[in-house]
Structure 1
């Protein structure tokens, strides 16, 4: 049996309980999808923690070169990287004891999912966090 995302009701519970979202691959360019999604989530009241080794600040938040450099707990690791690049991100998400490993639309990697699930993380793949939040929590948390 292949991977299945959690039920929508469970995703709603995960989002409602979330404070910090580390966004791996967040671009500092406002015309990029990662920027637009992170900005929308920030405007909905989520704390965005940018992870990009080539920037110092994005969306008014300090940018970190890696997940391991973030000095506070992370609820969701939201990933904007190519599918073949996400295994090390999953390993790092486990290492920092994140709660959820979330791969954005178009991103799917069974090995990364297995690593994250084995490390105790909930896994969501090939779903846009902004779309899910808009559908499941239209009035906010």
Structure 2
């Protein structure tokens, strides 16, 4: 799949299918985008888990925080990545090691690695990159999940 653009129906379809989201790189700092997006997604009805090794066991944006994806105690539908593009491949590897695997890996604005995306897609995991669900949900006028 090309990741230069996405059909609105593709994005809306995925945001309507997922229910649990792990936000990799979630920050405890309320002024950071990862903090605000994690909180926004939770307010939209998704079950959100923050992933931040230095904050494991604490709460970020009122959400349970884990060191790594494998520590989340339930299946993850979507992995939302707030890490630099050069780390996307490692996040994909971590996600592909989960059982069951996530359905979708979402790279935030500026997070794009086409090789990592191809690896995920070859394993049956969809990928959206260089987009923000907190922008897409209101833009597409999606109703809260649940």
| Counterpart secondary structure, 1:86 | helix
Equivalents in 2 of 1:5, 1:94: separation in Å? 24
User: What stretches of structure 1 of length at least 5 have no aligned partner?
Assistant: none
Structure 2: 5+ residue runs without aligned partners? Answer: none
Which residue number in structure 1 is paired with residue 42 of structure 2? 42
56-65 or 24-33: which moved more?
A: 56-65
- The CA distance in 2 between the partners of 1:137 and 1:18, in whole Å, is 16
Distance (whole Å) between structure 2 residues aligned to residue 139 and residue 19 of structure 1: 13
1:91 shift after superposition: 0.9
- What number of residue pairs does the alignment pair up? 141
Which residue does 2:24 correspond to in 1? 24
**Any runs of at least 4 consecutive aligned residues in structure 1 with deviations exceeding 3 A, and if so which?**
1-6
Match of 2:87 in 1: 85
Aligned to 1:134: 138
| Coordinate RMSD, CA, aligned | 1.6
For residues 17-67 of structure 1, what are the alpha-carbon distances to aligned partners after superposition, in whole Å with 9 as ceiling and x for unaligned? 221110000001100011011111111111110000011221222211111
Question: Could you tell me how far 1:69 is from its partner in structure 2?
Answer: 1.3
**Partner Cα distance (1:114, 1:138) in 2:** 28
Residues 88-114 of structure 1, C-alpha deviation per residue, up to 9 Å, x if partnerless? 101111222000000001111012101
2-structure distance, mates of 1:107, 1:65 = 21
Q: Choose 73-82 or 52-61, whichever is displaced more.
A: 52-61
Match of 1:95 in 2: 97
1:111 maps onto 2:129 in alignment: no
